[in-house]
Amino acid sequence: MYFESNRSSNDGMLAVGTVVMNRTADKAYPQSVCGVVGQKNQFAPGVLHKPMKENASKARAYAAADKVLRGARHPNLGKNVKHFHTAGYKFSYNNMYYVLEAGGNSFYEKRKAGTFSNNPFADLVNW
């Protein structure tokens, strides 16, 4: 959460943690937190070995991680939300159903193309 949401809101860190836990619960992904965040090209490079240097964000990341590991999840992210990218990026894929923007990231679930609005942000919750 530190490297994906450093300098973001607590809300953003909780959302990143929720995505990680949603993935660990899905058989298509590794079943451990380290396995999920260590997957190639999925999270910030070096997340498993780079030191966290900024103390305030480090403390927030530890606090958010403790909450997530005790079962807390972002209230606006369901179990199918397993993806996010930096807010402001736009992609031409028609299967990205956006549900939340938090902490500088846009969170989405993958859905069958054509089953939701063509405007990916039309259905956002808590925009």
> How far is C-alpha 14 from the geometric centre of its chain's CA atoms?
8
Are 5 and 105 in contact by the 8 Å Cβ rule? The answer is yes
Burial (CB count within 10 angstroms: exposed 0-12, middle 13-18, buried 19+), residue 28: exposed
Query: Where are the chain's structural domains?
Result: 2-69
Q: Take residue 61 and report the two structure tokens written for it.
A: 């990341």
What is the pLDDT at residue 127?
41
Burial 101-116 (b: 16+ CB within 10 A, else e): bbbbbbbbbeeeeeeb
Q: What percent of the chain has pLDDT over 70?
A: 89
The pTM score is 0.86
pLDDT in tens, 60-107: 999 999 999 999 999 999 999 999 999 988 887 889 999 999 999 999
Nearest-CA neighbor of 39 among 51, 23, 52? Answer: 23
Sign of CA dihedral 42, 44, 46, 49: negative
At the topology level of CATH, where does 2-69 sit?
Arc Repressor Mutant, subunit A (1.10.10)
Please say if the pLDDT value at position 36 is more than 50.
yes
